[in-house]
Structures are given as C-alpha cells and as structure tokens.
Structure 1
Amino acid sequence: MNNSSAKEISRDEMLASFLTDEALNDVTLKGNDGVEVFANRFLLSARSPVFRAMFLGKFREASSPVVEIDFRGCVLQAVVEYIYTDRAGMTSCKKRKNEDGQVFDSQRIQSLVSLAAAASFFELSGLGESVLKKFEHIWGMYPLSSFEIFQACRMAGPSIPTAMLGKARTRVRRTPADCITKDRIHCLSPDVLEEILKDPEMQMSECQLFRILSLWAQGTLQGEDRKGIAKDLSKHIRFEKMDPQILSTTITASGLVASEQLLEAYKHQALEARTKSKPPTFSASRGIPETTTWAVQPRLSSGNPVEILVQGAGSEAVNGIFVRDGTFNGHCRYIKPGTYGEASCLFWLYRWNSGRKEFWVISIIAVGEMPGSCPREEKDFYKMEGYGSDPPSSGWEKADPKYGVEPSPNLLSRYYKK
C-alpha cells in the first residue's frame, strides 16, 4: 500500500502543468522572431480546428518536432496559455508597467493586435473576445490611444478580425480632437493617415483634420519627407468648409497647401454665397449632417446621444461639448478635454452608482484612471440623481462646493442620423 502523502492535483492544475513541465510536451512552436514555445500537439488539436488539421492531418507538421508559425513567440505563448487554462496573461486588465513606467506601449499594443489576428487564425473565438475586451479597457482608460491601435490593426493586414478593425476605426472617429498632439499621431504611416483624412464619417471639422495633418508633418520618419507627403495629402481636406480668415492666415502660413487649392476654395465659397440664402457653416464636423441640431426632445434618431452640450454652468471650465467615448457602469460616458486652474485636464460626464442611488456626474478624472480609483485627484462639479439612460437636461445641482458654482448647467443633446 502506498502511504505517500502527495496531494492529488486538480484538473486545472494538471492542464496548467503543461506550461512549465517540458517533459509533457512533444512539439515546439517557433515564432517568426525565433522564440520557441513548447507545447503538446494533442491539447492544441483538441481546442483548435486549425491545430487539429495541422497535427492530426496529412500536413508535414504532423510529424515534425519543430513547427514554424508566422506569429511572434510571445503571441504563440499566449495562444498556448489560453488553450491550456482559458486565460492569456497578455489580455489581463491589470496595470503592468514596463521599464519606462508606462502602463502600456506601442509594442504591447502591436502584440495584442497580433494576438487578435492569431485568435482568428486558430479559430479561438473566446480568445478573440478577451483581446477585444482588453482593448475596450485601454480605450476607456486612455482615449487617445486610438491612433496607435488603428495603426497596429492596419499593419496586421487582412488577418485582423473585421469587428476589431471596425471598433478601432470608430474610436479614431470619436477621438477628442482638441487633445491630439504630435506624440499621439507620429506613429501613423502615410497610408493610414490618408485613410483618416478621406474618411467621410470622421467626427471632426476640416480645421481639426488639417491640424492633425500639420502635426504629423512636424514629426520625423526615416527615409521619408513628411512635409512633402503632407502637401500631397492636403488634397483630402475640404478647404471650402473653412472660414476664409483661417484660410488666409493659418492655412496659408503652414506651407502645406498650394495657392491653387486655396483659390479653388475661395471660388467655391463665393459661388455658395451667391446661390444660398443662408451664410455657409464653417465649424460643422464632417460626420454630422448639417441638418442635425441640438435639442432636448424629441430625439432626432434612435440610440443614445453622441454629443452633449453643457452650457450655463457657473464653473465656466465645465461648459462645452462632451463627446461620447465608450461606457462606464453600463451607460454611455462622455468626455471633454479642457483646462482647470491653468492645468490641462479631462472632464467626464458619466453615471455613478452610490449604494441604492445613481447619479449623473460631471467631474475631472485623472487621465488613465477611473472614477473612485483616485478620489484625491477627482473634482466633482455637478450631479443629478436619476436612472435614465441619457444625461438629464435640467435639474443639476452642485456636487462639491469647492468646484461647483451656481448656476447649475443645462444640457442639450445631439443625435447622429443613421
């Protein structure tokens, strides 16, 4: 009789042991960067139809001890980890700082995008959902990461899932234009920048799009003349939609627009002025129909509002347009870049659960944080108790008298037509 006191391991522990015990593995997956990942071909085949065809079919990989796969080693490691344990450390929503103290960086974004492509390739839908959830987390914490993520998705080519690419494009369209800096868009390739400038659904004005082009031209790209490329890409800006004063000053001084382009814009504006009874609108966003107006009720279309106009607040820094940017607590969240006390900040308009009560709140939330995570850095201006799915138009009151000043604001909503 065996008197061994060794504890029997559980099923989950047994599967996890395949990650650390090389004796249990019979195949090596070699990434395109030379990194090798040890695995068990039968476990991989049981979970992925692609691995099953590879290892149990008539392909040469069935008998080969080393199989080269066109993904980075860290991505293959995450795939194997997911197959064994239903989890992949790369998709964890916990904050993990790199050597530079950043919570995430370009390399990590590229790895996550590559993991999404791998999940699609190996037909692991659960892993794909985990990656998308991770990106939703990044978008929520760092709204201005949208350009890097979109660039990484475009670099991945057709292997990236359509849903992932669509969400990345939507996030770029909704990026708060006033927060964009050169550092946020220097990563864009000329092709991706052109795609953004040509997009008819970009929720920015022509002036804001030209500012993106101008900031990008100030960057450096080895082997490329960014200013020359920007001059060519300026053809996608609708200069006739800009105020003539801006055309004659900012645009002319940029050196990125040919005089012929400016002349055509002036001609178009002059023709419109002669044929239309109303003066032209120069500040409208490209993705918003000009007939769309601000209103309280009725709604102009189904769904939640995409922009909220906060006006009349005694704390003037709060006033302005809040743009829908994801969700918080299951409801739409709206953000507005601005300044408070001479410091740049990000205003939130969101719904907060407090015990049995729920409030809509207008606050300053530290960039990269969520409400409640850093209460010392939060500044609550106004609140309104309510359970509606949309921010209420009236009935607001001061939340914290240190920040909220009478009178309280009223809100107007804008809905994009489908």
Structure 2
Amino acid sequence: MQSNWQDDLSLLESMDYMLTNEVDCDISFKLGKAGLDVVPAHKFVLASRSSVFRAMLYGPLAEKGCLVDIPDVESDIFKCFLRYVYTDKCTTTSDNVTALMYTAHKYNVRRLVKECGQFMMDNMSTVNVCTIMENANLFDNRELRQKCLEFIQNQCTEIVESKLLTSLGPDCLGEVLRSEELDAKEEDIFAAVVSWADCRCTEKCLEVNGSNRRQVLGDLLYLVRFPLMSADNFAIISEQNTGLFTSKEEIELLRGQITNDFLKTSFSSEKRKQKTYPQDVCYRFQQHDINHGWKYTKPDALQFKVSEAVDIVGVILFGNSSSAYRVRVDILELGQMTDTTGTLTSTEKSFQVLFNKTVAIKPDTYYTLKADLQNGPPGYRGRNGRTSVKCNSTVFTFQTAPSPNNGTSNCQGQLYGIIFRKK
C-alpha cells in the first residue's frame, strides 16, 4: 500500500480503497452459517449510514468485542452490501437482489432497499412476479407489492393458466384473489388455486385430496367466485373435489345456480372488472393494391414477428363479395386455432376471424399464420405487400412461409391484416 494513496482519489474512491485494502479497520464480521469468512470494516462509516449499526456499535448495548457474528448473511452478499454502504454503488443481479434487499432491510439502509425494489420492478416477468410479491410482503415494501399486484392483474391470463401463483404465501394469494381486476375465467382461477393448495399439501406431507385442500386453503376458498361459473362447470368441480366444500356450502351454491340468488352463500357473485385494451390492426396492403383473382386450392401461410410483446386478437382475410367461407386459422408454433364461418356483404372484400381467446406473442420471434378457406369462390388478394409495417410503436415484420403454401408471400396473396392489442 502506497503511503500517499489518498492524493489522487475522491472521497468515495478513498472510502472504497480503505474498504478493499482493509485500511485501519476496527470491526470485523464473521459471516454465514459456517462462519468461515471474516470481513473487516470501519465502525464510523457503518454508523454514519445505518441507525441499526450505530445502535449496535455505539449504543448502550453495543457489542463489546471487535468480532460480530452474522450467521444469516453470506459473505458475498455482505461484501456487496458494504460496497454500497461505502460508495453508494454495488452490483445488483437477479441472483443476489433478494438477499441484498434482506440485508439492506435488516440494517435499515433504506436507499439500497429502494434500489433493490426498483431493480425487481424493472426485471419483473410472469415467471418471477409472484416470488417478488412474496419478498415485498416479507420486507413490508408496500409500493413493490402493489406493483406486483398490478402486473399480475395485467398478465392474469398467462399467470393463472400457467399456475404460477404457487409461489405466493396465503396473505399475497388472498390479496390477488380479492382483486376486482383479474382478467381470467373463474374456472381458470380456481384451477390455479387448486395447484397452490396441492403444493401446500405436499409441503405438509398431506395426501392431496379435497379435504386436505380445504384444510390448507381455509377461508381463501371463499375468495373464488364460484357463482360466476356455469352450473355444469360447478357440478364437475364439486364432483372432482369431494370434501372441498361443506354440505351446506355445496347445497347453497347449487341452489343459487338454479335460482340465480347467491345472497345466502359466503361466496361473492360480483363479476370481476374485465380490463379493456384498445385494439389496432396491422394491414399488409394498401387499398389500391387489392384486386380480384385469388383461388383457394390449399391453405395460405405467412410468417410474422413483432418488435414488442402483443396479444393477437384475430386476423383479417380476403374473400369474395356476397360470399361465405368455412375458414380455419392456425398459429402453428402455439397450437392456437379457430374454426368458423366468414360471411361478406355485397360491398366487402375482406372479413374478420377472431380467436376464442387472445394469443400472447413474444417479441423478435417468428410465428406462422395459416388460413384455410373452403366452400367459397375465388376472392380478392393483395399485391406489393409491405415486409415491415409500423403500427404506433409496434413493428410487424413479414416473411414468406415455407412450402406447402397456396402462393401467399411477404409481397402478395392472402392474410390482409392482423388484429392485435398491446400488453
């Protein structure tokens, strides 16, 4: 160590140097359960940044020795934490952010708690949002917890159908189920709740059955809105989950299905608010590039990708005026399809085909749309198609699909437009 190392360093650089090189340290910490790693530091710096450290090191009940045992924080996390205490900077990653937030919360370094929370918000996804919500609940971070709830509400269909709610504890699950803005079918919500209950049964070494599911769910079951289900669907649920409902609950729900009066049940019959999102259409062709003469001898196909995540609502296909078609539309990579009839009036050249439910599309990934029109005459087509179309902030890119194909390509043919909405 040079004797004049301070000469060219700023205050923060000097602090970092003293920590890294263990200059004049007067306190050490034995870290982790094994306690094999000892990290030195400076009392004055710690006390200046943390009220907990100040009480620990200078208060009436201050540590007497120069070695403090911290078994609940591992060495790499504590070193990262100290780097922030000394310099206001540290390397936060998905692997260390939870433990780092725990340490910052434990020692009341609020700025680092906030920065960890912001990192979690910025890196939130359907896969990790429930884990983040649990951490927010553990650390009493209400802002982060609310952001997680809003994210779950906005991405409810994917989270519920993928049964990702299993990462939640009872408190957070209850908060989610109380939400008026879960945009998913109640049957799917119930299936996700059953998966959650099954995980808790397994953790408690209980047999997975209706009675034990009810034992781990308790009053959380009342947050599932069974009155919103059809009588047939509820009957199936009741039959498959013997012991989940009491006899009284089952009778009240079945009676309510018949009379449409659920006032005597403990289950809410209020419809959840379905979020509405503005729809947009990406058109491949200009109006003056549409003419007649497209024959349907086999399915038409086209590949597309988007610049940002969207939900596909449906497609717009060409047809012939005053005609009807039996049509099937597939998104091959997702196994998503719809089979319906399309009818055109005497002035129409195209018609909409909507999917039964929206289809989540990831950015920068090519998907194949296939349209099979049957039982109808030759129709209109497009020419001089645009390979890249910007719709507000979303860019659609089209390319010719591999054979077999009816002739549709990125410049001509069928598949006039894609109906979508931004997430």
Structure 1 residue identity aligned to 2:259: L
Is it true that 1:163 corresponds to 2:143 in the alignment?
A: yes
Gaps of 5+ in 1: 93-103, 276-281, 295-306, 319-327, 346-361, 366-370, 392-396
Q: In structure 2, do the counterparts of structure 1 residues 200 and 317 end up closer, same or farther at CA, with 3 Å as the change threshold?
A: farther
The Cα shift of 1:179 comes to 4.8
Is it true that 1:83 corresponds to 2:85 in the alignment?
A: yes
Gaps of 5+ in 2: 264-268, 285-299, 315-329, 337-358, 370-387, 402-409
Cα shift readout 1:216-252 (whole Å, capped 9, x = no counterpart): 3444214345544422433332211112221123553
Structure 2 residue identity aligned to 1:29: F
Candidates 203, 228, 253, aligned match of 1:221 = 203
Matched residues, number: 320
Structure 2 residue identity aligned to 1:116: M
Candidates 406, 409, 413, aligned match of 2:415 = 406
1:9 and 1:285 map into 2 onto residues whose CA distance is 67
Cα shift readout 1:358-388 (whole Å, capped 9, x = no counterpart): xxxx9943xxxxx5xxx5x45699844447x
Q: Give the corresponding residue for 2:123.
A: 138
Structure 2 residue identity aligned to 1:399: T
Structure 1 residue identity aligned to 2:255: K
Structure 2 residue identity aligned to 1:241: L
Structure 1 residue identity aligned to 2:190: F
Q: Give the corresponding residue for 1:22.
A: 22
The Cα shift of 1:80 comes to 0.8
Structure 2 residue identity aligned to 1:78: C
Q: Which has the higher helix share?
A: 1
Structure 1 residue identity aligned to 2:66: P
Check the 8 A contact 1:364/1:380 in 2, yes or no: no
The Cα shift of 1:165 comes to 2.6
Give the share of equivalent positions with the same residue, in percent: 17
Greater relative contact order, per chain length (Cα 8 Å cut-off, separation 6+): 2
* Matched ranges for 1:12-411 at <5 A: 12-31=12-31, 33=33, 35=35, 36-61=38-63, 63-68=64-69, 71-73=72-74, 74-89=76-91, 91-92=92-93, 108=95, 112-139=97-124, 142-154=125-137, 156=138, 159-180=139-160, 184-190=164-170, 192-219=172-199, 220-225=202-207, 227=209, 228-232=211-215, 233=217, 234-255=221-242, 257-258=244-245, 260-272=248-260, 286=272, 288=273, 307-308=277-278, 340-343=331-334, 364-365=361-362, 375=364, 377=365, 383-386=389-392, 399-402=397-400, 406-410=415-419
Check the 8 A contact 2:312/2:361 in 1, yes or no: no
Structure 1 residue identity aligned to 2:156: P
Q: How large is the Cα RMSD of the aligned pairs?
A: 4.7
Q: Normalized against structure 1, the TM-score is what?
A: 0.59
- Secondary structure (helix, strand or coil) at the match of 1:399 reads strand
Structure 2 residue identity aligned to 1:33: K
Structure 2 residue identity aligned to 1:212: A
Structure 1 residue identity aligned to 2:22: E
Check the 8 A contact 1:198/1:236 in 2, yes or no: yes
1:121 and 1:180 map into 2 onto residues whose CA distance is 33
Q: Normalized against structure 2, the TM-score is what?
A: 0.59
Check the 8 A contact 1:363/1:378 in 2, yes or no: no
Q: In structure 2, do the counterparts of structure 1 residues 153 and 335 end up closer, same or farther at CA, with 3 Å as the change threshold?
A: farther
The Cα shift of 1:82 comes to 0.5
Structure 2 residue identity aligned to 1:341: L
Q: In structure 2, do the counterparts of structure 1 residues 344 and 152 end up closer, same or farther at CA, with 3 Å as the change threshold?
A: farther
1:256 and 1:316 map into 2 onto residues whose CA distance is 50
